[in-house]
Amino acid sequence: MTRVSDDIRKKVIEEADKEGNKFAFSAKQGVRGNPVQIAQLLFGDLLMADHKGRPVPIPGLHGYGEGLTPAEFYAGAYGSRAGNASVQLNTQKSGYLTKQLSMLAHNNRITGDDCGADSLGIPVSGDDPDVMGNVLAEDAGDLKKGHVIQEGDMDKLKDKDDVVVRSLLTCQQPEGVCKKCAGLKEDGKFPDLGEFIGVERTRMVGEPITQGMLSSKHIGGIIEDTSEDDEEEGFAVLERIFNVPSHFPNKAVLAPQEGYVKQISEAPQGGLYMMVGNEQVHVPEGRRAKVKKGDHVDAGDVLSAGVPNPKEIAEHKGVGAGRVYFLNQLTDVLEDAGIKTHMRNLEPLAREFFNRVEITDPGGMEDYTIGDVVPYSDIQKKWKPRQGSKIQKVDYSKDRYLEKPVLEYSIGTRITPKVLDRLKKKGVRDVVTSEKPPPFKPVVPALRDSLLTDPDFRAKLGGWNLKKTFLQAAREGGESPREPTSYITGLMDPRYIDKYPGKNNI
* C-beta pairs of 461-464 under 8 Å, 24+ apart in sequence: 461/488, 461/492, 462/103, 462/106, 462/486, 462/488, 462/492, 463/103
Q: What is the pLDDT of residue 499?
A: 54
Q: What is the percent of the chain where pLDDT is above 90? A: 29
- Tell which wins on pLDDT, 105 or 364: 105
- Cα 106 from Cα 100, distance rounded (Å): 10
Whether residue 218 has pLDDT greater than 50:
no
| Residue 259 exposure: Cα atoms within 13 Å on the Cβ side | 14
Answer yes or no: is pLDDT of 190 > 90: yes
pLDDT given at position 226: 47
| Residue 364 pLDDT level (bands cut at 50, 70, 90) | low
Residue 415 near residue 397, CB atoms below 8 Å:
yes
Angstrom distance (rounded) from CA 341 to CA 98 = 14
pLDDT band with cut points at 50, 70 and 90 for residue 85: confident
Read off the pTM: 0.78
Cα atoms in the Cβ-side hemisphere of radius 13 Å centred on 137 = 30
SS3 state at 423? helix
